[in-house]
Amino acid sequence: MAIKQQKFDPIEDATFQVANKNRGWSQKAREGALKRLSTMGMPSRRDEYWKYTNPTELLTEKLSVSPVVGLEDANIFSELDALKIVFCDGVFNPDLSDDLAAENIIISRLEENGDLHWAKNYYGLLEEKAQRPVSRSLAALNTAIASDGALIHVKGKVEKPIQILGIRNNTAEAILHHVIKVEKDCSITLLESGPFAKRLNSVMEVFLDEGASLEHIRAQGRDHDRLAVTHVFADIKENAKFKSFTLSANGMLTRNECVLTLSGDECAAHVAGASVGDGKSFHHDDTVFITHDAVACESRQVFKKVLRNGATGVFQGKILVKEGAQKTDGYQISQSLLLDEDSQFLAKPELEIYADDVACSHGSTSGAIDEEALFYLCSRGISKNDAADMLTLAFLAEAVEEIENDKIADIIVEKISAWLSRRRN
Amino acid sequence: MASFESIEVKDGVDQETVDAVREVGGAYKYGWETDIEMEYAPKGLNTDIVKLISDKNEEPEWMTEWRLKAFNRWEKIKEPKWSMVQYPEIDFQDQYYYARPKSMAEKPKSLDEVDPKLLATYDKLGIPLKEQMLLAGVETADNGEQGERKVAVDAVFDSVSVGTTFQKELKSAGVIFCSISEAIKEHPELVKKYLGSVVPVTDNYYATLNSAVFSDGSFVYVPPGVRCPMELSTYFRINAENTGQFERTLIIADKGSYVSYLEGCTAPKRDTAQLHAAVVEIVVEEDAEVKYSTVQNWFPGDEDGNGGIYNFVTKRADCRGDRSKVMWTQVETGSAVTWKYPSCILRGDDSQGEFYSIAITNNHQQADTGTKMVHLGKNTKSRIVSKGISAGFAQNTYRGLVSMHPKAKDSRNYTQCDSLLIGDKCGAHTVPYIEVKNNSSRVEHEATTSKVDDDQLFYCRQRGMDEEEAVALVVNGFCKDVLQALPMEFAMEAQQLVAISLEGSVG
């Protein structure tokens, strides 16, 4: 008798997982997320919010096991002295990680049982808030069934950068959910890199108290078969400062969403991204939603994409200035450098403004390398390849310059240069 | 306008701007109605009404079939909800789809036979229909050389065209300018060939509705190589209550021709909202050029947001031939709700599309407007300049698409959209879509004033102006050009807007 092939239903799967495993303190939040998810449904190409990126591949049934990517390849920040938190196949690995005990900071993992945890009141909170005005079902799915994650509570000055590192061994899928809370006037540098899994669904919720600051630097690279959807949610209080930079190279489908709320006066949020893509299978999507809900806040979005051989780059960015959020300074730029005829750039840079004393600007451009600039450099004795690389790096510079730490910026530039030199004509 | 007096204007917005907006958005001058005996089709919408409209216009069978097909489709589709406007559900069965003055039951053969009440209506609106009046009023009597100042008008009153001026003179130039109902009868081959070829019946909810029930509108055909000897214009007037106006305009500019077309519209003050769903189709053949200017001044509703026109319009130009050119200029001041995206399909190589828009919303007005530039041909160019001004409780959205197809090599787009908010209860939004699918094209979307032509800025700075002054001069100079490009009849109204400065504007 033939068994009827049932289509994989991620919601059904999540319902089963939530019902069959008690996750202690996070269970209630997970049930709530599942409920949201059931009403929202899964995204489809027909949704305006997924106009330029097809979510189908993020929703299909379990994938086959992918090739191993080891720790060395995953850790592009290896020359930095950082405190490593390593996830292998989507689960915390204590053997590969450093000792998590450090001054002024409490690090624990999501997959810890028990009924009490400081993160209980925070887990899933920003994800839930971010479901309006558009649903972000994949983030709700993450809250419901996340397998592990880092919970970081910063209570003072942290000397070393904290590094979340992912490697993959024998599983195709990882669902990670991190919660970071930075107390008043404290600060942290957070590094994130590694392939984690062939298909990654990652959520990071960041709570910045008054005067707190966080610098987040992320690298997505080397894993050419990557399917990733990531969400960074942040709530930024008075005088706090949030910075996030992402370098994306390669991969098949990457959707990085960043949802920030500036809820305290005079706070700042900067998000930047540099992505380099090669080949028809490369599809990279940056989706940013910044809400100004307080007076005299500053936000900055800088996204640069270098695309070649039929690669696709997407940018959807929105600045929402709520009524009363006067003296807002919002800036947004999205640019693409198309290195050949087949690549494409699709952008939707939006502004929604309900306050009259604001300065918001957005710009978006797309085009090829400037022939005149190329000619100028060549006439100075620089080879065409070097000149093209130089101009490409210069194009990406505005995004890379958002990184405050010079050492880290150098590493990023080095990686981009290497990527370019591997693709010389 | 109490709401206006009480608001605090922030630094940087000059008083002139505020006054200009107040003037434009202030007392609605065209709010009176004409007391005239009307004839209505029964309320509601069904196949019988569609047939009745077709019947009233004495249409051939193929046209009736065309309408019915549209109606069948319309019944199956849903009203779009994606725009940033909010209004109560429209009851499509609670209004009239056809209304005409009784005196128009038998079509007058010339303007002399038209009901004087109707003529008086247009006079009062400042649109004299009698040619001798036009000649006397607009021209100096003895100067025949200034013939290009003449404007031929097709006057549409509710569902019917009242009359079209200067038809004889246009005919001698080979230009066909008449109401669309007449064109269906007189020039079926042209109508059959072009109607629905730019905006297909299936295009969108309101275009489909229009296809089913359009009652009248204008038809223009300019033959190859002809430069239309005068401006053509259509003046739309809604007079009847609870009546929707659905007009259809079809403009064909054959190879190497040129035509400038203007559109104006007003409606009486009423406290219930009225629907206006028009379709404008423009076909531009090789080397032809069309200029289409609109001053949209439908009744915007009162200060509390009661009444007004719901303006859901589909306008599109198809630049089919190489080197063809189309230019949309719009000044949007009226309507309670506007939903309008005059678009250009740049199919021919080297074709050009331009879109200049000033949208002003006040009180409870809502506008969601912009353009689409679809680049299909090589070396095509488009330019978008949009200025949105929002005051009171109004919401003003720019929504636009620039699409460079893979084959549109070496194409170019420049977009600039600025918005200005006056008061802290209104909103201004920008929703641009940018799709670039080849690398030899350049697309720039700018909303910052710093990106005004650097050479011009440098020149001004060199003469001792500070940067802000220089920017204002350059941008205002450009804006003035646009407004002055408007034909004289509209220029008066639009000139008031020139005073609006860019200071304090947001992207």
The string of pLDDT tens digits covering residues B44-97 is 899 999 999 999 888 999 999 999 999 999 999 998 888 888 888 888 888 889
Instruction: Choose among B292, B322, B316, B445: nearest CA to B372.
Output: B316
**Residue A364's closest chain B neighbor by CA?**
B445
Tokens of A134: 């558009």
**Res. B132: pLDDT tops 70:** no
| CB within 8 Å: A351 and B506 | yes
pLDDT confidence band for B502 (50 / 70 / 90): very low
The pTM of this model reads 0.86
Q: What is the pLDDT of residue B10?
A: 53
| CB within 8 Å: A366 and B507 | no
The model's pLDDT over B85-118, given as tens digits with 9 standing for 90+, comes to 888 888 888 888 988 888 877 777 777 777 888 8
List chain B residues with CB under 8 Å of A326. 424
Q: A363 and chain B: CB distance < 8 Å anywhere?
A: yes
Q: A374 and chain B: CB distance < 8 Å anywhere?
A: no
Instruction: Choose among A147, A110, A152, A132: nearest CA to A36.
Output: A132
Domain ranges of chain B: 2-499
Q: Provide the percentage of residues in chain A whose pLDDT is more than 70.
A: 96
**Residue A326's closest chain B neighbor by CA?**
B424
Scanning B45-104 for CB atoms below 8 A from A yields 82, 84
**Res. A47: pLDDT tops 50:** yes
Rounded average pLDDT over A169-195:
92
The model's pLDDT over B286-295, given as tens digits with 9 standing for 90+, comes to 999 999 988 8
Q: Which residues on neighbouring strands pair with residue A196, listed in sequence order? A: none
Q: What is the pLDDT of residue B4?
A: 43
Look over chain A and give the mean of its residue pLDDT values, rounded to a whole number.
91
**Residue B84's closest chain A neighbor by CA?**
A352
Rounded average pLDDT over A93-121:
89
Q: A371 and chain B: CB distance < 8 Å anywhere?
A: no
Q: What is the ipTM of this complex?
A: 0.87
**Res. B344: pLDDT tops 70:** yes
Q: What is the pLDDT of residue A262?
A: 97
pLDDT confidence band for B14 (50 / 70 / 90): low
CA B73 from chain centre, in angstroms, equals 26
Residue scoring higher pLDDT (B468 or A51) = A51
Residue scoring higher pLDDT (B444 or B138) = B444
Which residue, among B439, B441, B444, would best test binding to A if mutated, counting the most A CBs under 10 Å from its CB? B439
Q: What is the pLDDT of residue B250?
A: 96
Look over chain B and give the mean of its residue pLDDT values, rounded to a whole number.
81
Distance from CA of A194 to the nearest CA of B (A): 31
